């Protein structure tokens, strides 16, 4: 981004000073550690009060800062735009900037697959357009406006990933970006602690359509009855994807190997698509992305090319090589029962001349259902295909107990989250060059620290 401070002040209904016409803001930051010179610093009030870091922000090159009313102005190092609420001001500025750049907006949510779908959609649309997409995990109430404000002025399409764990969050984000296309990948059990039922999760996910433009399109998983029912109330155009005969974009002939998955689509039956990912479940994300690409009139050949070589966000079903030469499948960003079962099943069928070893971390935010849902993973963990299972956390003890009925005692290894070093040492002792290793757990368990030591 690039805006004069005076323009930002007017957008936030703050009376600009004459000298602000000469101050140019080239980025937005709420973290002094990653702040770049020319930034507008947004001090957020959370566990730590960002206002305490304004001087450091100035030292690192910030040219101005927002300042939330009620905080004593104890420094005059850089200009301050005083607002009632810094987070609301961030949203207001993002909305203004979005209208100024005026790109087409694709908003994506879902219990699973939203990051992968986002990456696929961005790759497909980049065949024709200048595309900006959500980076890393910037998909929440802070991340979405930051994604908007990071757009280059020549952005033609903005692909925004949206997460949520409470009612009302997606509605606010949808109203902020006013999508031209709203996508729901699927409904699972993620955040069921807060919602109680999958029906309520579906209601919350449907909030992504609340800001959908009148001439926009709603793209959703037509294999999911909860979405099919709710889509009947949508006045805008709809597009369905899935594997059922009644959907508009239907996957056929899915073949998955250890590093890639191929499939065809009924609509373009002469074309064989290949994605560089393990697991037939990722085909659902691919056909969601193809649905969006088709809506934007990307050719089939262009979409095939994009899917074949798209770059996946780090730690989402990513193959890496360990210190001993073993193949490691990293899927440690997040976890819930549906996602875990899908990736474990795919991993269990990956060809190898060695052993298949699982590292399973706690699945968080399952509430009262945690014991039952951890135990449910036992259904897809087969001792004929999996040599050893390592558990990390507190809730996975339920799965360990369940698996004890079909695994030998020396095949199951339980570690607390505070003993990751012990887990790493045990893995390094067992793993050999021909082995396959899967790491899967919720981000809060931080299995990425185990991964870092293994590679």
Q: Is the pLDDT of residue 126 over 70?
A: yes
Distance CA 71, CA 407 (A): 59
Query: Is 143 among the annotated ligand-binding positions?
Result: no
Tokens matching residue 363 = 């699945």
- In-domain check, residue 97: no
Q: Is the pLDDT of residue 74 over 70?
A: no
Q: Which of 192-196, 363-367, 416-420 has the lowest mean pLDDT?
A: 192-196
Distance CA 189, CA 361 (A): 16
Residues 119 and 80 in one domain: no
Domain boundary among 63, 90, 117: 90
- In-domain check, residue 150: yes
- DSSP summary character for residue 398: H
Contact 293, 307 (CB under 8 A): no
Query: Is 168 among the annotated ligand-binding positions?
Result: no
Residues 86 and 125 in one domain: no
Residues 109 and 81 in one domain: no
Query: Is 38 among the annotated ligand-binding positions?
Result: no
In the chain, the percentage of residues whose pLDDT exceeds 90 is 81
Q: Is the pLDDT of residue 191 over 80?
A: no
The pLDDT score that the predictor gives to residue 256 is 83
Distance CA 227, CA 221 (A): 7
Residues 415 and 327 in one domain: yes
Query: Is 110 among the annotated ligand-binding positions?
Result: yes
| Residue 147 CA from chain centroid, whole number | 13
Binned at pLDDT 50, 70 and 90, residue 429 comes out as very high
Residues 187 and 288 in one domain: yes
Residues 175 and 59 in one domain: no
- In-domain check, residue 53: yes
Residues 334 and 303 in one domain: no
Residues 154 and 263 in one domain: yes
Q: What is the CATH number of the domain that holds 385?
A: 3.90.190.20
- In-domain check, residue 76: yes
The pLDDT score that the predictor gives to residue 99 is 97
30, 111, 288, 336, 424 from 158: Cα distances, Å = 21, 21, 16, 28, 40
In the chain, the percentage of residues whose pLDDT exceeds 70 is 98
Query: Is 114 among the annotated ligand-binding positions?
Result: yes
- In-domain check, residue 133: yes
- In-domain check, residue 425: yes
- DSSP summary character for residue 215: T
Please give the helix or strand (H or E) that residue 96 lies within, else none.
helix 86-101
Residues 42 and 184 in one domain: no
Residues 149 and 280 in one domain: yes
Binned at pLDDT 50, 70 and 90, residue 342 comes out as confident
Residues 379 and 404 in one domain: yes
Q: What is the CATH number of the domain that holds 82?
A: 3.40.1390.10
- In-domain check, residue 95: no
Q: Which of 179-193, 221-235, 344-358 has the lowest mean pLDDT?
A: 179-193
> Global pTM?
0.85
Query: Is 112 among the annotated ligand-binding positions?
Result: yes
The pLDDT score that the predictor gives to residue 212 is 98
Residues 54 and 135 in one domain: no
Distance CA 189, CA 171 (A): 20
The pLDDT score that the predictor gives to residue 29 is 96
Q: Is the pLDDT of residue 385 over 70?
A: yes
- Over residues 45-52, the mean pLDDT reads 89
Q: How many domains does the chain have?
A: 3
Helix segments in 279-322, DSSP class H? 282-295, 300-309
* Neighbouring residues of 396: CB distance < 8 A, sequence distance ≥ 6: 360, 361, 362, 374, 414
The pLDDT score that the predictor gives to residue 288 is 98
Domain boundary among 90, 111, 138: 90
Render pLDDT for 347-380 as a digit per residue (tens, 0 to 9).
998 889 999 999 999 998 888 889 999 999 999 9
- In-domain check, residue 440: yes
Contact 363, 337 (CB under 8 A): yes
Tell me the residue range of the domain where 345 lies: 318-454
Q: Is the pLDDT of residue 193 over 70?
A: no
Burial of 183-216, coded b for 16+ CB within 10 Å and e otherwise, reads bbbbbbbbbbeebeebeebbebbbbbbbbbeeeb
Binned at pLDDT 50, 70 and 90, residue 136 comes out as confident
Domain boundary among 309, 329, 351: 309
* Neighbouring residues of 87: CB distance < 8 A, sequence distance ≥ 6: 44, 141, 142
Render pLDDT for 252-278 as a digit per residue (tens, 0 to 9).
999 987 788 999 999 998 899 999 988
Render pLDDT for 240-249 as a digit per residue (tens, 0 to 9).
999 999 999 9
Query: Is 237 among the annotated ligand-binding positions?
Result: no
Contact 106, 158 (CB under 8 A): yes
């Amino acid at each position: 981004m690039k805006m004069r401070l005076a323009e930002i002040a007017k957008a936030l209904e703050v009376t600009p000073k004459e000298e602000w016409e000469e101050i140019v803001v080239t980025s937005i930051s709420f973290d002094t550690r990653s702040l770049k010179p020319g930034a507008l610093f947004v001090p957020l009030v959370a566990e730590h009060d960002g206002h305490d870091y304004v001087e450091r922000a100035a030292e690192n090159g910030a040219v101005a800062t927002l300042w939330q009313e009620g905080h004593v102005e104890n420094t005059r190092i850089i200009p301050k735009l005083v607002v009632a609420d810094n987070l609301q001001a961030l949203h207001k500025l993002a909305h203004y900037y979005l209208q100024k750049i005026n790109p087409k907006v694709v908003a994506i949510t879902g219990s699973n697959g939203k990051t992968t779908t986002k990456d696929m959609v961005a790759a497909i649309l980049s065949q024709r357009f200048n595309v900006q997409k959500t980076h890393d995990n910037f998909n929440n109430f802070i991340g979405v406006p930051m994604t908007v404000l990071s757009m280059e002025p020549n952005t033609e399409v903005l692909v925004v990933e949206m997460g949520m764990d409470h009612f009302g969050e997606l509605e606010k984000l949808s109203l902020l970006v006013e999508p031209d296309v709203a996508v729901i990948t699927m409904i699972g059990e993620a955040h069921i602690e807060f919602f109680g039922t999958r029906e309520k999760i579906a209601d919350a996910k449907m909030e992504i359509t609340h800001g959908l433009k009148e001439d926009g399109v709603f793209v959703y998983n037509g294999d999911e009855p909860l979405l099919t029912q709710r889509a009947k109330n949508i006045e805008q155009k709809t597009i369905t994807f899935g594997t059922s005969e009644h959907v508009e974009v239907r996957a056929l002939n899915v073949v998955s190997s250890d590093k890639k998955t191929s499939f065809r689509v009924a609509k373009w039956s002469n074309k064989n698509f290949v994605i560089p990912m393990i697991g037939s479940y990722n085909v659902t994300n691919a056909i969601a992305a193809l649905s969006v690409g088709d809506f934007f009139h990307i050719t089939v050949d262009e979409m095939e090319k994009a899917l074949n070589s798209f770059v996946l966000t780090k730690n989402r079903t990513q193959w890496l090589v360990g210190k001993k030469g073993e193949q490691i499948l990293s899927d440690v960003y997040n976890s819930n029962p549906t996602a875990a079962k899908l990736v474990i099943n795919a991993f269990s069928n990956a060809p190898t001349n060695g052993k298949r070893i699982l590292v399973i971390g706690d699945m968080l935010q399952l509430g009262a259902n945690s014991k039952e849902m951890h135990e449910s993973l036992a259904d897809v963990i087969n001792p004929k295909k999996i040599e050893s299972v390592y558990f990390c956390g507190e809730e996975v003890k339920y799965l360990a107990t369940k698996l004890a009925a079909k695994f030998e005692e020396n095949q199951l290894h339980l570690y607390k989250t505070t003993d990751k070093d012990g887990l790493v040492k045990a893995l390094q002792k067992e793993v050999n060059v021909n082995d396959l290793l899967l790491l899967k757990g919720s981000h809060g368990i931080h299995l990425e620290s185990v991964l870092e030591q293994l590679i």
